[in-house]
Amino acid sequence: MSGIDQKNDSKLLGQVLAFVGLLAFSMAENGLGYFPSLYGSVPKLSFTMLFVLCFYHPAIMPLISVFLVGVVHDLSQANPIGYTSALMVMAHCWIMFRRPMLMQTESGSIWYEFTIMMLAMMLFMLTVIVAFTGNLPALQPLLFQFSLTVLMFPMMNWMYHLIMGFAAILEQVR
Amino acid sequence: MARGPVNRKRSRKSNSFTTHAMLFVFCLLLMMVGKADIAVMHSVRSILTGLTVPVADVASVPFRAVHSMLDSMVSVANLRQENVRLKEDIENLKQWRRRAEILQSENRQLRSVSGVIIPDATTPVSARVVAVNADSFAHSVMVNVGERSGIREGNAVTTTDGLVGLVVDVGPKHAQILLITDINAMVPVILASSSWPAITVGMNSKRMDLRFLPTEASVSVGDLIQTSGHGGVLPPGIPVGRIEKIQSNAISVRPVADLQRLSFVTILTMDRDPGYSVDAIEEQRFQPLPVDDSGFSLEGLNALGQRTSSDVTAEEGDQ
């Protein structure tokens, strides 16, 4: 019984950490806008993190956490409330349904899947912008944002493995 | 019996999809309610945004620090070159200042004769940019002053270079500024050289489009665009941008203010009711000035503000 409790506590702690981490990441992501070359098209690193977390640790990334991170992100920005949440819920759904199949493939396929997912996200973003403003925005920043996000995925994935490897070593030492 | 676990798995998958779909629809509903601009929703959002501002401010500190450090390094590298350029600029500015003083004096005299009221009922409030929304959806920034500093929705926001945007949302200690490059931003402007009216429209990129410019207006690359004051939201005469590219179907304008490096901005708050109809004044102002030097816009001055040859000759004759 105590073993189950311990497992539940550990899962809850993991969920809280993942929520705080993703939230901090999504807030910090906009700080990249201070760099002139990235202004207006900062890479969506929070989506990369969401993908990695949901893919490797689905249990610590429940749907409600994803939704709440999106809402807080929208509140801190000028986006309509629900915009980032909708994107994140879509991404969460995508990863959860594709995960069993992707688990048996190599990293190149995962990157390809992420690219397809981001393309779908970008199309949804474009649709929302057009629907809300009635104007077609400049496509160049959107394409730049998409390309940068996709290109940075392997680096983020590698960083995740590096951190996890480091954590495993620490655990062994302890 | 053997199909039990498979069915359970399918059922769980189906439930999960339904939950996702329901939450997704809820998000869409939230967006629509937000778009409907309901007062309660607006105030709730304002309060919640106020709570997230300090977090966003803290989260952006490392990036601001790195950006500032990089900027400083570049500045040191360019210091000598910049010094020479600045000296030249100072000389040019001194000449322009002398010219401006003369013109200002003449302008004041002419205004006193014509009875035009100068819209000077604004007070500048300095603000620090605490969060940048650099997403492709919206171009906006959050500043650390709000209602308590007298900021109101619709106030113009500038830097020393020119117009940055306008205040669209105000909390007690924060304000959201819609930048002029945002897709929702439309600024009524005039061509500084000829006074032809037009509207700049943001494109969510680094440039804006110039639209509704009368076909008979002539424009060239580098022309200054400034606010017209039409509609009474923005004060007239604030530089907005310069014409960068002219194509058959579009005119591209580059903002004069560096929107990618905003640290501090000035918000122009209205002190009091200006007591005049801006539109009425602008109707007087919007008589397009002739571009040709030979045409006279004001007696004794041509469209560029230079003294006309006949007056100069007359003055020389008097001497």
CATH of the domain at A53: 1.10.1760
Q: What pLDDT, on the 0 to 100 scale, is given for residue A3?
A: 61
Q: What pLDDT, on the 0 to 100 scale, is given for residue A51?
A: 92
Per-residue pLDDT band for B280 (boundaries 50, 70, 90) equals low
Q: Give the chain B residue whose CA is nearest to the CA of A140.
A: B205
Encoded tokens for B226: 């400034």
Rg (chain B; Cα; Å): 26
Using the Cβ of B52 and the Cβ atoms of chain A, whether some distance falls under 8 Å is answered with yes
Please check the confidence at residue B299 and state whether its pLDDT lies above 50.
no
Alpha helices for chain A (secondary structure H): 2-29, 45-56, 63-76, 83-102, 107-133, 139-173
B81-93 confidence digits (pLDDT tens): 888 888 888 888 8
A58 Cα to chain B: minimum distance (Å): 13
Residue B190, SS3? strand
A44-102 confidence digits (pLDDT tens): 888 999 999 899 888 888 899 999 999 888 887 777 888 889 999 999 999 998 888 88
A71 Cα to chain B: minimum distance (Å): 9
Please check the confidence at residue A116 and state whether its pLDDT lies above 90.
yes
Please check the confidence at residue B109 and state whether its pLDDT lies above 50.
yes
What would be the CATH architecture of the domain defined by B118-272+281-285?
Beta Barrel (2.40)
Q: Which one is predicted more confidently, A168 or A4? A: A168
- In this structure, of B96-105, B145-154, B196-205, B220-229, the range with the lowest mean pLDDT score is B96-105
Q: What pLDDT, on the 0 to 100 scale, is given for residue A60?
A: 87
Q: Is A78 in contact with B176 (Cβ distance < 8 A)?
A: yes
Give the domain range for residue A55: 2-173
Is A52 within 8 Å of A160 (Cβ atoms)? yes
Q: What pLDDT, on the 0 to 100 scale, is given for residue B111?
A: 62
Residues of B in contact with A128 (CB under 8 A): 31, 137
A55 Cα to chain B: minimum distance (Å): 16
| Arithmetic mean of pLDDT, A5-18 | 79
Per-residue CA distances from A170 to A18, A21, B106 (Å): 19, 20, 78
Mutate to test the interface with A, among B26, B29, B31, B262 (most CBs of A within 10 A): B31
Q: What pLDDT, on the 0 to 100 scale, is given for residue B292?
A: 47
Cβ neighbours around B105 below 10 Å, total: 10
For chain B, the structural domain boundaries read 14-59, 118-272+281-285
| Arithmetic mean of pLDDT, B249-264 | 86
| Alpha-carbon gap, residue B2 to B6, rounded angstroms | 8
Encoded tokens for B18: 């339904």
**CA-based nearest residue to A33, from B257, B206, B260:** B260
CA geometry: angle B254, B257, B262, nearest 5 deg: 125
| Arithmetic mean of pLDDT, B94-107 | 75
Residues of A in contact with B26 (CB under 8 A): 82
Encoded tokens for B37: 């601009």
Report the domain count for chain A: 1
Q: Is A76 in contact with B56 (Cβ distance < 8 A)?
A: yes
Please check the confidence at residue B311 and state whether its pLDDT lies above 70.
no
Residues of B in contact with A36 (CB under 8 A): 260-261
Q: Is A27 in contact with B55 (Cβ distance < 8 A)?
A: yes
